[in-house]
Structures are given as structure tokens and as C-alpha cells.
Amino acid sequence: MKRTIISQAILALVIGAATMAPAMAQHAGHGKADTSSAVQYRPDVTFTLRTDIADGKLVFVSETGATKGQANPTLNVPEGAVVQINLVNGDGATHDVSVPEFNAKSNQINDKGASTSIVFKAGKKGVYTYICTLPGHVAAGMIGKIVVGGAVEAPVAKGVDVSMNPKEVGKPVGARGPKKLTVNLETTEITGQLSDGTTYKYWTFNNKVPGPFIRVRVGDTVEVNMANAKDSHMIHSVDFHAVTGPGGGAAVTQAAPGSTKSFTFKALNPGLYVYHCATPMVAQHISNGMYGMILVEPEGGLAKVDREFYVMQGELYTAQRHGTQGEAEFSLEKLLNEQPEHLMFNGTHDALTKTHRMEAKVGETVRIFFGVGGPNLTSSFHVIGEVFDRVYSQADLTSPPLKNVQTTTVAPGGATMVEFKVEAPGRYILVDHALSRMEKGLAGFMYVTGKENPEVFRTSSKPDGDSGH
């Protein structure tokens, strides 16, 4: 017999409903009917879902009706109906099922074949979600929709793609001598796609987050032209950490909408440096997307590698909680309390997992230019399944690098350069090893192709799922 969990609110509802036929509620931890706690209810609609693993994701799979076999099926119910959702454990991991909007939550089931249920009244027309509440399980795929009353789903929020392609690193300077260069930046305020169904009004350099990767040589003379778009609402500026001069350039680039400011600097110090908007309040401008990096290569340039990638970590502070659909709005309170709702690589949740594909081949050497836009959180940068052969700590490119490093610390407004040889095929995950931040969108993938290398890594069993670590 199926196990049924009934919230107190629903218990009161069903006991008071005189038209409902009697049934036995069973405790989730047992397979026997509890005759001492009989309640009266008759569900109008019943669904049965099974937990499973599909394409590396955790999912709910429909066991009944027209949706049988579908992963995370949309459940359609009449307004006012009493709904029962049965959950069967199909993969042996710990799970539950919950519909937060109706305060319905089951107990946890741990063993393959175990089951539980929830019962609730779908009292309000609309579109809701059912989820597994175990940490990380929603992010892993255990979320579906319940449509009550034939509701028309709200239009999916759409914005432009603001994510920076990590392969956009420019050309190495090589062995050339110093010369004069021009860098053109435009500050814009645009509605971008933060994640599926969620948008945000980003402030950017050149319509991307982070802004363009600027590559120069020590001794170069660089002219910076910064134009603020005519349709902007805010004054913007740019502060280069590589610049020796007032405000790193910010003191002379406070540009009103429609105006352009310029300055020239000489690149005196080799290294990898952050740049960002420095218009008050500075933290808001940075958080909204106004950061990037400039690489000042040493004389003779950097050593040649097979792959180079540009990755920056950022934070968004929104009034709406992480996962909320629609347009997210900036929260000053959360910014001042340093409590971001979203963290991401290269501007969006999907930038390095869906939108852009980082690839390498077995035997190649990979270099990652990594920085933290912030504005507040320190990153513990780590690539799951790899060891950094060389870490240029704090982006010092002239001192000997650290070797054989697992995780490296990067401060807000700071950077590092890491290099490693990839020696086994597979998917490698870029993270901040403050790993709860993955649940707020902070992850990236690097795909390595090529022949298996059993001397380096060999498996003798097939994994049941994708743990990510």
C-alpha cells in the first residue's frame, strides 16, 4: 500500500469534507495501515511519479496516464481539486516531493522501491512547481510544473545573451616591441537573460559580462575611449587596476549618457588585472555586470599553450529569490548585507554550461585567465578532476608560479592565471569550492575529448549517476 503524508492544513480540510469517502492514511516509515489515525479523503486527481536518473540529471518520471514515461511531466488539475501525488523511489537515493505553494511536503524516502505521498487542495488557479527539497536536487533537475485550472502560463521572460564567450581572449602579443593601441568601450544598460525564464537589467561594457578581454604588452601606450550609450540612465566610468593614474582612469571617465571620455596610459606593470566601473555606488555598478580584465603580457609574451579561456566570477543581488521566474530586480539591502541571490561565471547561469562550450583534447595544455568581478565574495577557484600544474598567484606573471595546486584563492577585484595539462577525457567542472554557491548558479563545464588513458584514470564500474565531484 502507498504511504500518505497529509499536511495539517489539508488534514483539517479533508476531515471537514462530508462528501469524501473514508480511506486509511499510512505513515511513510511503514508499510502498514495505521487504524488509530484514519482520516477521510478522496483525491479527485492522482499522479504517480518515480525518481530516476536520466542524461546525468535527477528527475521525476511519470508512471501513469498520458504522460507515462515523461521526465518532470506537467501535471494538469482542475481548480479546487484534491490532488494526490505518489512518489516511488526508483534510484535508491534520498528524495521527497513538495509543492511549496500549497504547503505540501512528504517525508524523505531512502530505499529503492520505497514510496510516499502528499495530498493537497489546488485552491487557486495558476502555475506552480513540484520539487524535491533535498539540497541540490532542484539544481540537478528535480522540478516540474503543476497547472491548476487550465491556467495559461505566463510569458517566459526573454532577454539578450550578455554572456561572454570564454574563448574570446584576443591574440598573444608574442615577441613584438611596445606600440600604441586603442581600446574602445561602450557602457550599456540592457535586459539580459540570467537563466531560463529569468531576466535582469544588466549594466555592461560592450553588451557583455564580463567586458572584453583586453590584451597588451608591458611598455605599450594605450588610449582608452569610453562612450556611455545615449539610452543609458546612469553615469558610468572605468577604473583599470593596471593603470597608474587618478582612479585608474575613473577620475576622468565619468560619462553622462550620450557622452564619451578618453585618457591614455602606459602599461608599466606586467600582470592580469581587473577593470570595472567606478561610479557611485560602485558596488552596484560592478554587481550589475560592469567588470572585465586586461592582460599586460611581459616582454617576450607568455609561453605558448594549446587552449586559453577567459572566466570571471560575479554576483547579483536581487529582491526575488534564486529560481524565481520573470524579471529580477536589484536589491540594495541584499547588496549592503553581502547576500547575493545569484552567482555565475561569465555573466549568466548558463554561460559555461549551455551557452558556450569549453573544449580541449587529451594531451593539450589549458590556460585559464580567471578573475573575480565581485564585488564582495572571495573565490576558491577549483576545477573538479584536475590539479593546476602552475598557478600564477595573484596574477603575478614574472615570479615563478606555484606548482601542483588543488584550489587557489582569488580576492574580489583580483585575478590569477592557471595552467594544466589534460590527460584523461571527460567533463570537468569549474567551481568556487565554497560549493553551496553551485546552488545559486555558479558552475562551468570543460569537455575533454580523446583516447582513454587507463594509466592515469581507469574505471571498473559504471556510475549510477552524476555526482559532479
pLDDT at 23: 35
| Predicted confidence band of residue 382 (pLDDT cuts 50, 70, 90) | very high
| Predicted confidence band of residue 155 (pLDDT cuts 50, 70, 90) | low
Please determine whether the domains at 180-297 and 308-449 fall in the same fold group of CATH: yes
Q: Is the pLDDT of residue 134 over 60?
A: yes
- Work out the average pLDDT over 206-228: 98
pLDDT higher at 317 or 5: 317
Q: Is the pLDDT of residue 396 over 60?
A: yes
pLDDT, one tens digit per residue, over 454-464 is 999 998 876 65
pLDDT at 152: 58
- Work out the average pLDDT over 385-397: 97
pLDDT at 402: 98
Which of 100-114, 154-168, 417-431 is predicted with the least confidence, judged by mean pLDDT?
Answer: 154-168
C-beta atoms surrounding 409 within 10 Å: 14
| Predicted confidence band of residue 154 (pLDDT cuts 50, 70, 90) | low
> What's the CA gap between 171 and 308, in Å, rounded?
10
pLDDT at 197: 86
Instruction: Select from 417, 202, 419, 450 the least CA-distant residue to 327.
Output: 202
What's the CA angle centered on 452, arms 447 and 458, to 5 degrees?
105
CATH architecture of residue range(s) 308-449: Sandwich (2.60)
Q: Is the pLDDT of residue 31 over 80?
A: no
Helices marked H in 157-281: none
pLDDT at 465: 52
| Predicted confidence band of residue 17 (pLDDT cuts 50, 70, 90) | very low
Top-level class of domain 180-297: mainly beta
pTM (2 decimals)?
0.74
Q: Is the pLDDT of residue 469 over 60?
A: no
> What's the CA gap between 132 and 82, in Å, rounded?
20
CATH architecture of residue range(s) 5-148: Sandwich (2.60)
Instruction: Return the percentage of the chain with pLDDT > 90, whole number.
Output: 81
pLDDT, one tens digit per residue, over 242-281 is 999 999 999 999 999 999 999 999 999 999 999 999 999 9
pLDDT at 42: 81
| Predicted confidence band of residue 65 (pLDDT cuts 50, 70, 90) | confident
Q: Where are the domains of the chain?
A: 5-148, 180-297, 308-449
Q: Is the pLDDT of residue 39 over 80?
A: no
Which of 122-131, 226-235, 268-277, 411-420 is predicted with the least confidence, judged by mean pLDDT?
Answer: 122-131
Instruction: Return the percentage of the chain with pLDDT > 70, whole number.
Output: 88
Q: Is the pLDDT of residue 340 over 50?
A: yes
Contacts of 281 (CB under 8 A, 6+ apart): none
| Predicted confidence band of residue 323 (pLDDT cuts 50, 70, 90) | confident
> What's the CA gap between 377 and 427, in Å, rounded?
26
pLDDT, one tens digit per residue, over 353-367 is 999 999 999 999 999
Phi/psi for 391 (5° steps) reads -125, 120
> What's the CA gap between 372 and 384, in Å, rounded?
19
| Predicted confidence band of residue 414 (pLDDT cuts 50, 70, 90) | very high
Averaged pLDDT score across all residues of the chain: 89
What's the CA angle centered on 294, arms 290 and 295, to 5 degrees?
155
Instruction: Select from 123, 124, 141, 121 the least CA-distant residue to 132.
Output: 141
> What's the CA gap between 381 and 467, in Å, rounded?
19
Q: Is the pLDDT of residue 10 over 70?
A: no
